[in-house]
Amino acid sequence: MTALALPRLSIPLRPAVGWAGGTRVSGILSSLFAALLASGLVLEWGPVGGAMARSALVLAHVAGAFGFVLLFAPWALRHARRAPAKSQRPLFSLLGWALMAKYVLVLVTGLLMALPPALWLSGQVWFWPLAATRTLAFLHLWPSLAAAAGLALHLTMRHWRS
Amino acid sequence: MMKLKSQGRFHLPLLVGGLSLSLAAVAGMVIGLPGSPDTLSPDDVPYYALPFGPGAEGEERPFWPSRLATEGNLLAVADTLPASGDCAGCHRQEYLEWAPSLHGIADRDAVYEKTVEANEDLLRHGVQQGRFCEGCHAPNELIAGRVTKLASVAPGPASADGVSCLACHAAVHADPQTGNGALTLRIAGLGGDPADLALLAAPRDHADRWGSAATKALIGKSELCAACHTENYDPSMSKATTPQDVQSTFAEWQASWYADQGVTCQDCHMAPDPAAQVLALRQGRVAKPDRYSHAFVGANYLMFETGLGETLTFLRGGTIPGLTEAEADVAIVAQREATHALLRAAAGLELRSVRADDSGLRLDIAVQNLGAGHNLPTGVSDQKHMWLEVEVQDAGGSVIYRSGGFDAAAGVTDPDAVMWIEQFLDGKGEVIPNHLTFATAEVKWVRRAIPAKGEEVVGYDIPLPSGTRGPLHLKARLWYRVALQDLVYQNLRLETPVPPFALAELDLTLPDEALK
């Protein structure tokens, strides 16, 4: 009896030929983060009128977020292990850790916010207390904007001594 | 020129690209799945008649002669108007309390519905004049533009809701002195579709829309209730040439001990156990209830009178949407018990004095308003009335005196009974027994209602037949009835007697001095 041979999936960690400053995974993460930010801001302040449009956007936002988490968790672990050693500037390192914390906060609060809709779709009605939903929404929105600013800084700020 | 580091050069285009693509996708979604408008101008509703024109200062008044208003004088789109059933998706307990309640059936209750029809039949603009009634009983129908002779708006999910969720939770202003439905509703952008996953993820915006600062300031106050529980007639909706007070429940409360203590309508009528709340208040304990129920327990026991069988279903305007038959039965019985207990907590009877002389026996009986935070009776008092039945028996059990008897088969009360009721009179001074508001020229009390914590001592001079043997036995009952039999006959073409409810009873043996 022969074992079923599964194809090996691998996403290269090293830059592909011609790529510099990022990997395929980090590139996908950046694109996804931008898409999540945009859809989140539209949900928060945008002109999405109908319940169907809003629901579709929430579903897309949550699906994107799950994809983001799946890629981000292993990537972030590796990045956190290797990247600090390359930083020659304490301020850069500090901001890097702060960025990581913001990402984690945004993802955790998003997960908690997604619980009531997930339960609704499974036929159960359950809500966080109203005060908790206000706190969650606050901790999801503003740190995501801070993370966007932090990411821009992270990608442009020197991490070496001149 | 400063050069971006390689990470910036690599990621920033991806970030911008992701942002742009996402916004483009959202734009496509918005165009492909547009939201529906939820308000429109009265001019946009075909055949919506405005026979009464603008107000004295030229203001629009699309719901006149009801004083109900919406911000911007807009109508609601019936299809998108949030139905109370939609709210049930998440606020199930509140819905289960509300659906069987008097507020829940306010638009379907046959006594109301048939009486509105009887009124509307009196006038050419009868249907439009019926807005006066519908503003409080059917606000959803009214603001959707369905109360007009040629109604072009199809019924929406919220149309039969009665005093619906939004009637209170979208209210941003109330005028308790004016009454006649003087609420202003904020209906634009309410939303509330439970299938809206954004609402479920972040109910904060939903809570803010349905609980605006203006609504929050109003929702727990008696002023909110007063907008409908204050009713005055003037030439706009009746034949009255001078203002006639019809319902003054708010004013009665405002002048009472309860208002001084900060006890609101909601504190009793929305308490989980209204009778227990009233009994606590009778002992001076003014603590607020732990939670507020949406059962709105009041005095209309008839709508929970399960002894009427299928007639009750007819009177209630059908079954309860969203509840199984078993759930409905349980809910109606629970509200019946709560209503009975509340009514019994409101009133008392006390024998004040017994005197006898050569002409006979003199009894003074105090009729007490012990627990109602308003007059007793209150509300639509040309129908909701009470009377005192007094019976004296001799030692052998023979009835030697009776006043205020009730013929249960015919539903007729002794015409000479001591009765607390007001009467509607037409332009010729004739009594209107079936609540024809549009024909009423004057409203007058036969015997004024008893104020909160007040009492009225009623004296009976009872001639004693010679040879009457004692001890004498007194039975007294304070009866309450929500509608006159004439109204049921004339408006509903129904022969079912309206059963009365005993608010208080006295059953005692008179002292020997009763027989001189």
For B74, residues 6+ apart whose C-beta sits below 8 A from its C-beta are B39, B40, B41, B42, B187, B188
Q: Cα–Cα distances in Å, from B358 out to B33, B177, B351, B472, B513?
A: 90, 52, 21, 16, 12
Quick one: pLDDT at residue A12? 46
- With residue B504 as reference, give the H or E element that holds it: strand B501-509
Q: Which DSSP letter does residue B511 get?
A: P
Residues 6+ apart with CB under 8 A from B398: none
pLDDT score, position B313: 96
pLDDT of A17 reads 44
* Residue A4 scores a pLDDT above 70: no
The residues in A 79-138 lying below 8 A from B, measured between CB atoms, are: 113-114, 116-117, 120-121, 125, 127, 130, 133-134, 136-137
pLDDT of residue B13: 86
pLDDT at A11: 45
CB contact under 8 A, A155 and B8: yes
- What pLDDT shows up at residue A118? 92
What pLDDT score was predicted for residue B56?
87
Residue of B nearest to A31 (CA): B18
Low-confidence ranges of chain B (pLDDT < 50): none
Chain A residue at shortest CA distance from B191: A51
> pLDDT at position B476, please?
98
A122/A127 Cα distance (integer angstroms):
14
Give the DSSP per-residue string, A12-67. -SSPPTT--S--HHHHHHHHHHHHHHHHHHHHHHS---SHHHHHHHHHHHHHHHHH
| ipTM tops the 0.90 cut | no
Summarised one tens digit per residue, pLDDT across range B84-101 is: 999 998 899 999 999 999
> For chain B, which residues lie within 8 Å of any Cβ of chain A, measuring from their own Cβ?
4-12, 14-19, 21-23, 25-26, 29-30, 32-36, 89-90, 92, 191, 193-204, 207
pTM, two decimal places: 0.89
Tokens of A128: 């966080």
Distance from CA of A66 to the nearest CA of B (A): 15
Q: What is the chain A residue with the closest CA to B21?
A: A35
Q: Do B8 and A27 touch (CB under 8 A)?
A: no
pLDDT of B214 reads 96
Strands B69-70 and B230-233: unpaired
Reported as a single tens digit per residue, the pLDDT across A7-52 is 454 444 444 444 577 888 989 999 999 999 999 998 888 766 677 8
